[in-house]
Amino acid sequence: MKIGILTSGGDCPGLNAVIRGIVLKGDKVYEHTFLGIRDGYRGLVEDDIFTLPRKQVRGLSKQGGTILGTSRMGPYGEGNGGAERVREVMDKHEMDGFIAIGGEGTLTVARMLFDEGIPVLGVPKTIDNDLSSTDVTFGFETAVAIATESIDRLRTTAESHHRCMVVEVMGRDAGWIALNAGIASGAHAILIPEVPVTIEQVTDWVQATVNRGRAPVVVAAEGFRLSGADVSAKHGVDHMGRPRFGGIAEQLTPIIEERTGIETRSMTLGHLQRGGVPTSYDRVLATRFGTHAIDAVHRREWGTMVALKGTDIVSVGLAEATRERKSVPRERWDEAAILFG
Ligand code: F6P
Protein backbone atom coordinates (compact mmCIF):
# COMPACT_ATOMS: atom_id res chain seq x y z
CA MET A 1 0.00 0.00 0.00
CA LYS A 2 1.01 3.63 -0.42
CA ILE A 3 0.18 5.61 2.73
CA GLY A 4 0.22 9.35 3.32
CA ILE A 5 1.09 10.91 6.68
CA LEU A 6 0.21 14.40 7.88
CA THR A 7 0.58 16.34 11.12
CA SER A 8 -1.97 19.10 11.68
CA GLY A 9 -2.87 21.70 14.33
CA GLY A 10 -0.46 22.93 17.01
CA ASP A 11 2.80 20.97 17.08
CA CYS A 12 3.72 18.72 19.98
CA PRO A 13 6.86 16.92 21.22
CA GLY A 14 6.64 13.32 19.98
CA LEU A 15 5.20 13.95 16.50
CA ASN A 16 8.44 12.83 14.84
CA ALA A 17 8.53 9.67 16.96
CA VAL A 18 5.05 8.75 15.65
CA ILE A 19 6.17 9.34 12.05
CA ARG A 20 9.26 7.19 12.63
CA GLY A 21 7.20 4.40 14.22
CA ILE A 22 4.78 4.32 11.28
CA VAL A 23 7.44 4.36 8.56
CA LEU A 24 9.90 1.95 10.21
CA LYS A 25 7.35 -0.75 10.95
CA GLY A 26 5.40 -0.13 7.75
CA ASP A 27 8.50 -0.53 5.61
CA LYS A 28 10.13 -3.35 7.57
CA VAL A 29 7.13 -5.55 8.33
CA TYR A 30 4.56 -4.74 5.64
CA GLU A 31 6.66 -3.28 2.81
CA HIS A 32 4.31 -0.33 2.48
CA THR A 33 5.61 2.91 1.02
CA PHE A 34 5.00 6.37 2.44
CA LEU A 35 4.22 9.89 1.29
CA GLY A 36 4.84 12.92 3.50
CA ILE A 37 2.06 15.52 3.28
CA ARG A 38 3.43 19.00 4.07
CA ASP A 39 1.78 21.29 6.66
CA GLY A 40 -1.22 19.14 7.51
CA TYR A 41 -4.33 19.32 5.33
CA ARG A 42 -2.74 22.21 3.38
CA GLY A 43 -0.50 19.68 1.66
CA LEU A 44 -3.50 17.62 0.61
CA VAL A 45 -5.45 20.60 -0.67
CA GLU A 46 -2.48 22.22 -2.45
CA ASP A 47 -0.85 18.96 -3.54
CA ASP A 48 2.37 19.46 -1.58
CA ILE A 49 3.45 15.85 -1.15
CA PHE A 50 6.79 14.02 -1.22
CA THR A 51 8.15 10.50 -0.95
CA LEU A 52 9.10 9.60 2.62
CA PRO A 53 11.64 6.77 2.62
CA ARG A 54 12.73 4.85 5.72
CA LYS A 55 16.15 6.50 5.75
CA GLN A 56 14.51 9.89 6.27
CA VAL A 57 13.06 8.89 9.65
CA ARG A 58 16.33 7.64 11.12
CA GLY A 59 17.07 9.05 14.61
CA LEU A 60 13.82 11.02 14.66
CA SER A 61 12.31 9.89 17.96
CA LYS A 62 14.15 12.48 20.03
CA GLN A 63 13.62 15.39 17.64
CA GLY A 64 11.08 18.07 18.60
CA GLY A 65 8.59 19.63 16.17
CA THR A 66 7.47 17.77 13.05
CA ILE A 67 9.52 17.09 9.92
CA LEU A 68 6.27 17.29 7.94
CA GLY A 69 5.38 20.80 9.10
CA THR A 70 1.92 21.70 10.31
CA SER A 71 -0.86 24.25 9.85
CA ARG A 72 -4.41 24.82 10.99
CA MET A 73 -5.78 24.88 7.43
CA GLY A 74 -8.56 22.40 6.66
CA PRO A 75 -10.08 20.99 3.46
CA TYR A 76 -13.52 22.30 4.43
CA GLY A 77 -12.33 25.92 4.57
CA GLU A 78 -13.79 28.22 1.94
CA GLY A 79 -12.51 27.41 -1.53
CA ASN A 80 -10.45 24.42 -0.33
CA GLY A 81 -12.50 21.83 -2.20
CA GLY A 82 -13.54 19.53 0.66
CA ALA A 83 -13.44 15.75 0.28
CA GLU A 84 -13.56 16.01 -3.54
CA ARG A 85 -10.25 17.86 -3.69
CA VAL A 86 -8.67 15.46 -1.17
CA ARG A 87 -9.78 12.47 -3.25
CA GLU A 88 -8.41 14.05 -6.43
CA VAL A 89 -4.95 14.64 -4.90
CA MET A 90 -4.87 11.19 -3.30
CA ASP A 91 -5.75 9.58 -6.65
CA LYS A 92 -3.02 11.55 -8.42
CA HIS A 93 -0.43 10.12 -6.00
CA GLU A 94 -2.05 6.68 -5.93
CA MET A 95 -2.38 7.06 -2.18
CA ASP A 96 -4.41 4.21 -0.64
CA GLY A 97 -5.17 6.17 2.50
CA PHE A 98 -3.54 8.50 5.01
CA ILE A 99 -2.79 8.82 8.69
CA ALA A 100 -3.77 12.13 10.31
CA ILE A 101 -1.86 12.95 13.49
CA GLY A 102 -3.60 15.74 15.36
CA GLY A 103 -5.89 17.03 18.07
CA GLU A 104 -9.63 17.51 18.23
CA GLY A 105 -9.91 19.75 15.15
CA THR A 106 -7.74 17.50 12.98
CA LEU A 107 -9.57 14.35 14.07
CA THR A 108 -12.98 15.95 13.52
CA VAL A 109 -11.96 16.79 9.94
CA ALA A 110 -10.64 13.21 9.55
CA ARG A 111 -14.02 11.86 10.68
CA MET A 112 -15.86 14.13 8.23
CA LEU A 113 -13.60 12.97 5.38
CA PHE A 114 -14.08 9.33 6.40
CA ASP A 115 -17.86 9.88 6.37
CA GLU A 116 -17.44 10.97 2.75
CA GLY A 117 -15.55 7.81 1.86
CA ILE A 118 -11.90 8.91 2.31
CA PRO A 119 -9.69 6.18 3.88
CA VAL A 120 -8.14 7.93 6.89
CA LEU A 121 -6.90 6.79 10.29
CA GLY A 122 -6.20 9.05 13.30
CA VAL A 123 -3.42 9.38 15.86
CA PRO A 124 -4.30 11.63 18.83
CA LYS A 125 -1.97 14.52 19.65
CA THR A 126 -2.15 17.46 22.04
CA ILE A 127 -0.01 18.77 24.87
CA ASP A 128 -3.29 19.72 26.59
CA ASN A 129 -4.22 16.04 27.22
CA ASP A 130 -7.89 16.86 26.75
CA LEU A 131 -8.98 14.06 24.41
CA SER A 132 -11.45 11.83 26.24
CA SER A 133 -10.95 8.58 24.34
CA THR A 134 -7.27 8.13 25.18
CA ASP A 135 -5.91 7.97 28.73
CA VAL A 136 -2.94 10.16 27.82
CA THR A 137 -1.66 12.04 24.76
CA PHE A 138 2.06 12.23 23.97
CA GLY A 139 3.57 15.70 24.44
CA PHE A 140 1.64 16.23 27.66
CA GLU A 141 4.36 14.84 29.91
CA THR A 142 7.00 16.92 28.15
CA ALA A 143 4.91 20.09 28.52
CA VAL A 144 4.36 19.38 32.23
CA ALA A 145 8.09 18.76 32.73
CA ILE A 146 9.02 22.04 31.02
CA ALA A 147 6.38 23.97 32.96
CA THR A 148 7.47 22.39 36.26
CA GLU A 149 11.12 23.23 35.69
CA SER A 150 10.20 26.80 34.70
CA ILE A 151 8.04 27.29 37.81
CA ASP A 152 10.85 25.92 40.01
CA ARG A 153 13.19 28.51 38.48
CA LEU A 154 10.68 31.34 38.85
CA ARG A 155 10.19 30.41 42.48
CA THR A 156 13.86 30.97 43.41
CA THR A 157 13.88 34.47 41.96
CA ALA A 158 10.49 35.21 43.58
CA GLU A 159 11.87 34.08 46.97
CA SER A 160 14.96 36.32 46.61
CA HIS A 161 12.81 39.38 45.94
CA HIS A 162 9.91 38.49 48.27
CA ARG A 163 7.56 38.71 45.30
CA CYS A 164 4.48 36.91 44.10
CA MET A 165 4.87 35.17 40.73
CA VAL A 166 1.92 34.44 38.45
CA VAL A 167 2.76 31.81 35.82
CA GLU A 168 0.50 31.18 32.84
CA VAL A 169 0.67 27.77 31.19
CA MET A 170 -1.13 26.44 28.10
CA GLY A 171 -4.57 24.87 28.31
CA ARG A 172 -7.29 26.67 26.40
CA ASP A 173 -10.17 24.45 27.49
CA ALA A 174 -8.67 22.08 30.04
CA GLY A 175 -6.38 22.64 33.00
CA TRP A 176 -4.33 19.43 32.94
CA ILE A 177 -0.95 21.12 32.43
CA ALA A 178 -1.67 23.72 35.13
CA LEU A 179 -2.89 21.06 37.57
CA ASN A 180 0.05 18.70 37.12
CA ALA A 181 2.81 21.31 36.86
CA GLY A 182 1.24 23.19 39.77
CA ILE A 183 1.16 20.12 42.01
CA ALA A 184 4.67 19.08 40.96
CA SER A 185 6.13 22.51 41.72
CA GLY A 186 4.16 23.04 44.95
CA ALA A 187 2.18 26.06 43.69
CA HIS A 188 0.18 28.07 46.25
CA ALA A 189 -2.79 28.37 43.88
CA ILE A 190 -3.75 26.56 40.67
CA LEU A 191 -6.36 28.19 38.45
CA ILE A 192 -8.00 26.12 35.70
CA PRO A 193 -10.87 26.70 33.24
CA GLU A 194 -12.99 23.96 34.80
CA VAL A 195 -13.17 25.46 38.32
CA PRO A 196 -14.56 28.95 39.04
CA VAL A 197 -12.51 30.87 41.61
CA THR A 198 -13.02 34.48 42.78
CA ILE A 199 -10.29 37.11 43.06
CA GLU A 200 -10.90 37.18 46.84
CA GLN A 201 -10.03 33.49 47.04
CA VAL A 202 -6.86 34.02 44.99
CA THR A 203 -5.70 36.94 47.13
CA ASP A 204 -6.48 34.97 50.33
CA TRP A 205 -4.15 32.18 49.18
CA VAL A 206 -1.47 34.72 48.23
CA GLN A 207 -1.77 36.53 51.58
CA ALA A 208 -1.69 33.28 53.57
CA THR A 209 1.52 32.29 51.78
CA VAL A 210 3.13 35.67 52.48
CA ASN A 211 2.06 35.42 56.14
CA ARG A 212 4.08 32.20 56.38
CA GLY A 213 7.12 34.04 55.02
CA ARG A 214 7.05 32.47 51.55
CA ALA A 215 6.93 33.88 48.02
CA PRO A 216 3.54 32.95 46.51
CA VAL A 217 3.44 31.14 43.18
CA VAL A 218 0.12 31.18 41.31
CA VAL A 219 -0.19 28.85 38.30
CA ALA A 220 -2.99 29.72 35.86
CA ALA A 221 -4.09 27.86 32.75
CA GLU A 222 -4.55 30.26 29.83
CA GLY A 223 -8.27 29.37 29.67
CA PHE A 224 -8.99 30.31 33.31
CA ARG A 225 -11.42 33.20 33.86
CA LEU A 226 -12.09 34.94 37.15
CA SER A 227 -15.60 34.25 38.43
CA GLY A 228 -17.97 36.88 39.81
CA ALA A 229 -18.42 40.52 38.92
CA ASP A 230 -16.03 41.57 41.67
CA VAL A 231 -13.19 42.85 39.52
CA SER A 232 -13.39 46.24 37.87
CA ALA A 233 -12.88 46.69 34.16
CA LYS A 234 -9.76 48.79 34.68
CA HIS A 235 -7.93 45.56 35.48
CA GLY A 236 -8.62 44.26 32.01
CA VAL A 237 -11.63 42.04 32.56
CA ASP A 238 -15.29 42.71 31.89
CA HIS A 239 -18.23 42.19 34.29
CA MET A 240 -18.28 38.51 33.34
CA GLY A 241 -14.64 38.05 34.32
CA ARG A 242 -13.66 37.74 30.65
CA PRO A 243 -10.35 39.24 29.56
CA ARG A 244 -10.33 42.47 27.58
CA PHE A 245 -6.69 42.21 26.60
CA GLY A 246 -3.55 40.24 27.46
CA GLY A 247 -3.37 36.78 28.98
CA ILE A 248 -4.76 35.74 32.34
CA ALA A 249 -1.38 36.10 34.12
CA GLU A 250 -1.05 39.67 32.89
CA GLN A 251 -4.56 40.46 34.12
CA LEU A 252 -4.16 38.88 37.54
CA THR A 253 -0.82 40.50 38.32
CA PRO A 254 -1.94 44.13 38.94
CA ILE A 255 -5.04 42.95 40.82
CA ILE A 256 -3.02 40.78 43.20
CA GLU A 257 -0.48 43.56 43.70
CA GLU A 258 -3.13 46.19 44.39
CA ARG A 259 -5.20 44.05 46.75
CA THR A 260 -2.35 42.49 48.74
CA GLY A 261 0.39 45.13 48.45
CA ILE A 262 2.83 42.39 47.42
CA GLU A 263 5.07 43.12 44.47
CA THR A 264 3.89 40.76 41.74
CA ARG A 265 5.35 39.66 38.40
CA SER A 266 3.87 37.56 35.62
CA MET A 267 5.35 35.08 33.18
CA THR A 268 3.59 33.40 30.27
CA LEU A 269 5.40 30.22 29.28
CA GLY A 270 3.62 29.96 25.92
CA HIS A 271 5.17 27.94 23.13
CA LEU A 272 8.22 26.99 25.20
CA GLN A 273 5.96 24.19 26.46
CA ARG A 274 5.63 22.73 22.97
CA GLY A 275 9.27 23.03 21.90
CA GLY A 276 12.35 20.84 22.15
CA VAL A 277 12.94 17.18 22.79
CA PRO A 278 10.18 14.90 24.09
CA THR A 279 10.62 13.07 27.40
CA SER A 280 11.37 9.34 27.20
CA TYR A 281 7.76 8.58 28.23
CA ASP A 282 6.43 10.64 25.31
CA ARG A 283 8.90 9.03 22.87
CA VAL A 284 7.72 5.57 23.92
CA LEU A 285 4.00 6.44 23.75
CA ALA A 286 4.42 8.18 20.38
CA THR A 287 6.41 5.28 18.95
CA ARG A 288 3.77 2.80 20.12
CA PHE A 289 1.00 4.96 18.60
CA GLY A 290 2.94 4.95 15.32
CA THR A 291 3.54 1.19 15.14
CA HIS A 292 -0.03 0.39 16.17
CA ALA A 293 -1.39 2.91 13.66
CA ILE A 294 0.34 1.15 10.77
CA ASP A 295 -0.92 -2.23 12.05
CA ALA A 296 -4.46 -0.81 11.96
CA VAL A 297 -3.89 0.63 8.47
CA HIS A 298 -2.65 -2.77 7.31
CA ARG A 299 -5.90 -4.26 8.60
CA ARG A 300 -7.71 -1.44 6.74
CA GLU A 301 -9.38 -0.18 9.91
CA TRP A 302 -10.08 3.21 8.34
CA GLY A 303 -12.20 5.61 10.36
CA THR A 304 -10.54 4.61 13.62
CA MET A 305 -7.95 6.17 15.92
CA VAL A 306 -5.30 4.56 18.11
CA ALA A 307 -5.65 5.28 21.83
CA LEU A 308 -4.04 4.36 25.14
CA LYS A 309 -6.23 2.40 27.58
CA GLY A 310 -4.33 1.44 30.70
CA THR A 311 -1.11 0.06 29.27
CA ASP A 312 -2.63 -1.16 25.98
CA ILE A 313 -2.92 0.58 22.64
CA VAL A 314 -6.45 0.07 21.31
CA SER A 315 -8.56 1.31 18.39
CA VAL A 316 -11.57 3.59 18.83
CA GLY A 317 -13.93 4.93 16.17
CA LEU A 318 -13.19 8.51 15.05
CA ALA A 319 -16.79 9.46 15.84
CA GLU A 320 -16.39 8.31 19.44
CA ALA A 321 -12.90 9.83 19.66
CA THR A 322 -14.16 13.33 18.87
CA ARG A 323 -17.40 13.23 20.89
CA GLU A 324 -16.24 15.00 24.06
CA ARG A 325 -13.36 16.75 25.72
CA LYS A 326 -11.56 15.38 28.78
CA SER A 327 -11.85 18.05 31.47
CA VAL A 328 -10.18 18.01 34.86
CA PRO A 329 -12.73 16.50 37.30
CA ARG A 330 -13.57 18.78 40.22
CA GLU A 331 -12.30 16.16 42.73
CA ARG A 332 -8.84 16.23 41.15
CA TRP A 333 -8.60 20.00 41.64
CA ASP A 334 -10.04 19.73 45.19
CA GLU A 335 -7.28 17.24 46.08
CA ALA A 336 -4.69 19.82 45.08
CA ALA A 337 -6.55 22.82 46.54
CA ILE A 338 -6.30 21.45 50.09
CA LEU A 339 -2.61 22.37 49.90
CA PHE A 340 -3.03 25.93 48.52
CA GLY A 341 -2.13 29.07 50.44
O1 F6P B 1 -4.04 23.00 21.54
C2 F6P B 1 -2.78 23.08 22.10
C3 F6P B 1 -2.41 24.49 22.43
O4 F6P B 1 -1.17 24.38 22.97
C5 F6P B 1 -3.38 25.26 23.35
O6 F6P B 1 -3.21 25.00 24.71
C7 F6P B 1 -3.07 26.68 22.98
O8 F6P B 1 -4.16 27.52 23.25
C9 F6P B 1 -2.83 26.59 21.52
O10 F6P B 1 -2.32 25.30 21.27
C11 F6P B 1 -1.89 27.64 20.98
O12 F6P B 1 -1.79 27.48 19.61
P13 F6P B 1 -0.96 28.36 18.58
O14 F6P B 1 0.31 27.62 18.31
O15 F6P B 1 -1.82 28.42 17.37
O16 F6P B 1 -0.69 29.69 19.21
Ligand 1 contacts CB of residue 236 (under 6 A): no
Q: Would you say 222 is a known binding-site residue?
A: yes
Ligand 1 contacts CB of residue 325 (under 6 A): no
**Burial degree of 94 (CB within 10 A; 0-12, 13-18, 19+):** exposed
Provide the ipTM: 0.93
Q: Which of 27, 39, 128, 282 is catalytic?
A: 128
pLDDT band at 253 (very low <50, low <70, confident <90, very high): very high
pLDDT band at 199 (very low <50, low <70, confident <90, very high): very high
pLDDT band at 234 (very low <50, low <70, confident <90, very high): low
Q: Report DSSP state, residue 228.
A: S
What is the average per-residue pLDDT within 136-150? 98
Q: Given ligand 1 and candidates 172, 180, 271, 273, which is best to mutate, with the most ligand atoms within 8 Å of its CB?
A: 172
The model's pTM is 0.94
Q: Given ligand 1 and candidates 72, 127, 170, which is best to mutate, with the most ligand atoms within 8 Å of its CB?
A: 170
Distance in Å, CA 172 to ligand 1 centroid: 7
Question: Relative to the CA of 72, which ligand 1 atom is closest?
Answer: 15
Ligand 1 contacts CB of residue 104 (under 6 A): no
Residue-wise pLDDT for 288-322, tens only, equals 999 999 999 999 999 999 999 999 999 999 999 98
Question: Is the predicted pLDDT of residue 239 greater than 70, yes or no?
Answer: no
Contact between 303 and 112 under an 8 Å Cβ cutoff? The reply is no
Ligand 1 contacts CB of residue 128 (under 6 A): yes
Question: Is the predicted pLDDT of residue 240 greater than 80, yes or no?
Answer: no
Give residue 229's pLDDT: 46
Residue 47 φ/ψ, nearest 5 degrees: 55, 60
Asked about 128 being catalytic, the answer comes back as yes
Q: Would you say 226 is a known binding-site residue?
A: no
Q: Would you say 276 is a known binding-site residue?
A: no
Q: Would you say 170 is a known binding-site residue?
A: yes
Contact between 137 and 236 under an 8 Å Cβ cutoff? The reply is no
b vs e for 117-148, b when ≥16 Cβ sit within 10 Å of the residue's Cβ? ebbbbbbbbbbbbbbbbbebbbbbbbbbbbbb
pLDDT band at 221 (very low <50, low <70, confident <90, very high): very high
Question: Is the predicted pLDDT of residue 243 greater than 60, yes or no?
Answer: no
Question: Relative to the CA of 222, which ligand 1 atom is closest?
Answer: 8
Q: Whole-angstrom Cα distance, residue 61 to residue 138? A: 12
Q: Whole-angstrom Cα distance, residue 205 to residue 212? A: 11
